[in-house]
Copies of this chain bind each other. A is one copy, B any other.
């Protein structure tokens, strides 16, 4: 392995000078600078990153914690983060919790080991009380998922408004019996979305009905299950707020297989505006989330925290959501006469 010493020797200079050239120090004569560059080139020298990290106490690495990569939402998030991080001179280390508390804690150790300069939590398995202990070891921010009173920066989407506009759209189409699907119950994202749902109902003088509430709805398969459950209810809902495009896709697929017409018999609204919404038949109405903006902002905020070294602060950044009406939502069959 070729080290800084080899370069210094070949250039006939000290390693201090070589180091200065590498790090673009101001006061080095052009002559020596050229000599160093020449030597570096002929030897094919590249600074050893471990040595640098040890010395600088900076690894130029950021970790992001997600439940799993293949979830399209997190996939997009990570893809954008990776690009943004690279632009800022950081490597992005992607950590999957696979929904396990232990695995999440394992990843948090990266901060202790100083393997990463900072960390972005895009999902949350453990209690904030547990996670907050890691704050001593380096900057930590949340992105997407959040904990209201955590004293760290949080970059998030306005989920309350998201739940609100999706529901309002269904209400405006005349629906009054609206099913509500949601995934994790601890998740603040899910809780806020539900708040928005309830807020819209309230504006129309309606109450949240437990019988129309479906839990653990994440995947296509879950969507299919939900359809079968609601299809055999006495007073089936005329619309479904799915909380996710995959769930909506599964629900629609099952509905079609059972002769239930979308949106004539049943309106379905997704969440995320994933690709699947555009290829399903009918195309799925949904809520668009500005994932890329959120990802870029998260990287930006974390990089600043790493540089500033100040104590964690309670900062909030919020991005708006947008309703996209396609073909899977329409007038309520019960109000068709109006």
Contact = CB atoms under 8 A, between A and B. Distances in A.
A242 interface: no
A92 interface: yes
B92 A94 contact: yes
Nearest to A63: B91
Q: How large is the interface on A (under 10, 10 to 19, 20 to 34, 35 or more residues)?
A: 35 or more
Interface in A266-300: 275-276, 278-281
Interface string A238-261: 000000000001100100100000
Interface stretch (A69-77, A200-208, A229-237): A69-77
Contacts of A279: 220, 249-250, 253, 276, 280
Contacts of A280: 279-280
A92 B82 CA distance: 14
Contacts of A44: 112
A44 B70 CA distance: 35
Nearest to A91: B93
Interface stretch (A20-28, A50-58, A174-182, A308-316): A50-58
A171 B249 CA distance: 32
A192 interface: no
B79 A114 contact: no
Given A115-B49, A220-B279, A280-B279, A79 B83 contact: no
Interface in A9-53: 44, 46-51, 53
A329 interface: no
A98 B86 CA distance: 12
A207 B21 CA distance: 61
Given A92-B94, A279-B249, A280-B279, A70 B59 contact: no
A75 B66 CA distance: 14
A216 interface: no
A307 interface: no
A121 to B, nearest CB: 17
Contact of A75 (B53, B69, B109): B69
7 contacts: A1-B114, A50-B53, A50-B115, A70-B75, A75-B75, A91-B93, A281-B281
